Amino acid sequence: MEIIDISVGWPGRVHDAKVLRNSTVWEDGDRISGYGRFHLIGDGAYPLKIWLLTPFRDNGHLTAEQKKFNKSLSSKRQVIERSFGLLKGRFRRLKHINMIDIKEICNVVCTAVVFHNTCISNGENLEEFMEEDDDLMPPIYPLFEQQEQNAEGALKRFNMANRLRFR
């Protein structure tokens, strides 16, 4: 549950997809994806890209494979949510930072992430720090429209869902 990339400086209530859209991960997405071999996962609020897999939109007509894919993707996303819960559990001050200077706040968050990763590298027990992250709520409305979905990403997701049929 090591954190490998962070983007700091955004207010806590800014939509995650907006933060992603303005990050270096977004700028480098196609390059860092290994040209389709690797991918990040997101919820339905994110646009589908070859490097960013999102669930099938449930319009009431999903196939069994698509439902299975969505369930699998959701279970993988729980690892991400758990990582944030561990970070905020270990460094409880992150839930309520009483500082004004944005640069200072960014430094505190980055330092907490570095310490968090160091603790993981040293094999510290994480379970005692687990805390539910109440900031993570499922999005009510998608931030990106269907036309922003990437054809290569759609094909990759379709193929992955169909492979689940044989498992």
Check pLDDT > 60 for residue 88. Answer: yes
Q: Is 136 helix (H, G, I), strand (E, B) or coil?
A: coil
| pLDDT tens per residue across span 112-122 | 999 999 998 99
In terms of pTM, does the model score above 0.75?
A: no
Check pLDDT > 60 for residue 50. Answer: yes
> In this structure, what are the phi and psi dihedrals at residue 40, rounded to the nearest 5 degrees?
-95, 165
**Confidence (pLDDT) at 105:** 93
Across the chain, where does the E strand assignment appear? 40-41, 52-53
Residue with tokens 């049929």: 165
Q: How is the chain split into domains, by residue range?
A: 16-166
